[in-house]
């Protein structure tokens, strides 16, 4: 929306009175007195009239080490959520760029920038999600072959993109997948009667969980 329409709508003023507000230097855009009335207001622009804030959308990008037991949701009646861990007045604005199960630990990204979160979660963007996985049996050649080939998920009607499997031990691997289907890793192993006993996300694309960030802690970053 144009800045003059934005201001007029908020102040309930017609075109002439709105223009006068601009001419009197009462309107600020991102802390600067602004008289270009046709400027488009962006989602993250700060708009003020007479130092009263009309919109103060600061973009937020949070990288968190989700502990086991915490829910990847904004509200939950029973369990602590990732939002509960961020004791800031802006925490309620955030949404998740990809969830983890309650029993999974590791990297979650929270933001109020939906363009950024979609760039991480949209499968066509091919952003790799890297997991450390432990299962209750041997990860055979057959499993690795199937994962690397791509697997058909009937419920979602999709074939997963070829995954990468780096075998670390007979029952442990580092797995990279490119989608975020519900319980995807657990369902992939379940096809081979393997139960995931430990799951931890290390990275989402180029965003890595910092080694010095303890479970439950978070920090802001600039993408």
Q: Which of residues 190-219 bind ligand URA (CB under 6 A)?
A: 199
Cβ-based nearer residue to ligand URA, 28 or 102: 102
Please pick, from the candidates 35, 84, 101, 172, the single residue that binds ligand URA as defined by CB under 6 A. Answer: 101
Residues 6+ apart with CB under 8 A from 89: none
| Smallest gap from residue 188 Cβ to ligand URA (A) | 8
Applying CB under 6 A, does 165 fall inside the site for ligand URA? no
| Smallest gap from residue 136 Cβ to ligand URA (A) | 14
Tokens for 191? 């096809």
Please pick, from the candidates 104, 121, 160, 176, the single residue that binds ligand URA as defined by CB under 6 A. Answer: 104
User: Helix, strand, coil % (nearest 5) of the chain?
Assistant: 20, 30, 45
Applying CB under 6 A, does 93 fall inside the site for ligand URA? no
Q: How many residues bind ligand URA (CB under 6 A)?
A: 8
Tokens for 9? 């709508």
Cβ-based nearer residue to ligand URA, 183 or 191: 183
Q: Closest by alpha carbon to 69, among 219, 180, 217, 216?
A: 216
Cα–Cα distance for residue pair 6/135, rounded to 1 Å: 55
Please pick, from the candidates 95, 183, 191, 195, the single residue that binds ligand URA as defined by CB under 6 A. Answer: 183
Cα–Cα distance for residue pair 143/146, rounded to 1 Å: 5
- Helix and strand tally (H, E) in the chain? 5, 15
| Smallest gap from residue 63 Cβ to ligand URA (A) | 17
Binding site for ligand URA (CB under 6 A): 100-101, 104, 183-186, 199
């Amino acid at each position: 929306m144009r800045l003059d329409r934005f201001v007029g709508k908020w102040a309930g003023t017609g075109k002439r009175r709105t223009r006068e507000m601009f001419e009197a230097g009462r309107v600020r855009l991102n802390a600067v007195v602004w008289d270009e009335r046709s400027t488009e207001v962006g989602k993250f622009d700060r708009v003020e009239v007479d130092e009263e804030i009309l919109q103060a959308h600061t973009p937020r990008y949070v990288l968190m080490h989700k502990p086991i037991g915490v829910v990847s949701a904004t509200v939950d009646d029973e369990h602590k959520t990732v939002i509960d861990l961020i004791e800031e007045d802006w925490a309620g604005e955030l949404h998740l760029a990809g969830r983890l199960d309650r029993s999974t630990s590791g990297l979650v990204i929270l933001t109020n920038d939906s363009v950024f979160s979609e760039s991480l979660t949209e499968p066509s963007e091919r952003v790799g999600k890297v997991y450390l996985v432990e299962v209750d049996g041997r990860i055979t050649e057959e499993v690795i072959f199937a994962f690397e080939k791509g697997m058909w998920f009937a419920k979602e009607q999709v074939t997963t993109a070829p995954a990468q499997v780096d075998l670390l031990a007979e029952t442990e691997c580092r797995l990279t997948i490119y989608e975020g289907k519900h319980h995807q890793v657990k369902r992939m192993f379940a096809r081979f009667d393997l139960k995931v006993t430990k799951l931890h996300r290390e990275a989402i694309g180029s965003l890595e969980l910092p080694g010095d960030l303890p479970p439950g802690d978070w920090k802001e970053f600039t993408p």
